[in-house]
Homo-oligomer: A and B are copies of this chain.
Amino acid sequence: MDITSRYNDKISQYFEQMAPKGEPASLYEPINYLLMLGGKRIRPAMVLMSCELFEKDTDKALPAAYALEVFHNFTLMHDDIMDKATIRRGFPTVHEKYDLNTAILSGDAMLIYSYQILCGYEPAMAHKILKSFNKMAMELCEGQRLDMDFETSNIVSIDGYLKMIAFKTSVLLASAMEVGGIIGGGGESDLKHLYEFGKNIGIAFQIQDDLLDAFGDEKKVGKQPGGDIIQNKKTYLFLKAKELADPGQLEKLLFYYNVEPHDQHTKIKDVKHIFTKHLKFEFKIILRKM
């Protein structure tokens, strides 16, 4: 998404200036640690980009851009605990570097801080922004919960999966577009379209991520392919293959997704074979580009 890079300087400068300060340092330091690990800053760029559609001066969208990035990092801090992740952006996660209680409490403070920033807008504007933000934040919790529930469920539907990734990932991008539009002064119909655009780009991004995990070029993607297959993750690829597979392949697929075999290489090869057999028509355009 190179289109977003032209906002980088503006965003970095504002973020540095707004870094939360306060006492005790043991509460605020872990917040700044995570925020300073970087990341692509896609969400703030989306807020500014969306604002710019209606209003040349995007400075007044900076607080909202920052608030959404703080919120995003709050979800990372808590999700990393839930996922038992030890590494984030190449560095130890907060609960690894500090401890569990620090990651819970500093995460809570980040969520509150994101609200505090949004409440800096004048009342009518803040009210509109918060309506979008609250709905998104609650859906994001629902999405994370669905994801956790799916791990142990054998009856995940494609619709269920799409709802999960929409809530877990896409509604934040959707809200970023909507909030930028609100600040820029977009009309009701524009805001709806911006929201849908953000939501759909998020879903597409997640499915692309699923595809890259199985079929991506190791050098380009930066990780060993097949991670989702090893972890038996019920991705779109798996669910669609399950739907289209013949009885023999279905049996093989379900067998592989219920075991953790010693030889991961054969598992990945076999599962990918089933995936490509059934998915090549649906995804041939995307696959060709990878």
Complexed CA–CA distance, A146 and B22 (Å): 12
Complexed CA–CA distance, A156 and B241 (Å): 61
What is the chain B residue whose CB lies nearest that of A138? Answer: B112
Assembly of this chain: how many copies? 2
* A104-156 interface with B by 8 A CB criterion: 104-105, 107-109, 111-113, 115-116, 119, 122-124, 126-127, 130-131, 134, 137-138, 141-142, 144-146, 148-149
A101 at the interface (CB under 8 A from B): yes
Contact B115 A134 (CB under 8 A): yes
Contact B145 A24 (CB under 8 A): yes
- Tally of chain A residues near chain B (CB < 8 A): 38
* A8-41 interface with B by 8 A CB criterion: 22-24, 26-27
A82 at the interface (CB under 8 A from B): yes
Contact A104:B82 (CB < 8 A) given known A26-B145, A112-B141: yes
Complexed CA–CA distance, A194 and B124 (Å): 27
Contact A146 B78 (CB under 8 A): no
Provide a sorted-by-A list of 22 A–B residue pairs whose CB atoms are within 8 angstroms.
A24-B146, A24-B149, A26-B149, A27-B142, A27-B145, A81-B100, A82-B104, A105-B144, A105-B145, A105-B148, A108-B111, A108-B141, A112-B134, A112-B137, A112-B138, A115-B130, A115-B137, A116-B138, A119-B130, A122-B127, A123-B126, A126-B130
Determine the main DSSP class of A at the interface with B.
helix
Complexed CA–CA distance, A124 and B107 (Å): 28
What is the chain B residue whose CB lies nearest that of A84? Answer: B101
When distances are taken between beta carbons in the complex, the residues of chain B under 8 Å from A112 are 111, 134, 137-138, 141
Other A-B pairs beyond A115-B115, A123-B126, 9, CB < 8 Å: A23-B142, A24-B149, A26-B149, A105-B141, A105-B145, A108-B111, A108-B141, A109-B138, A116-B134
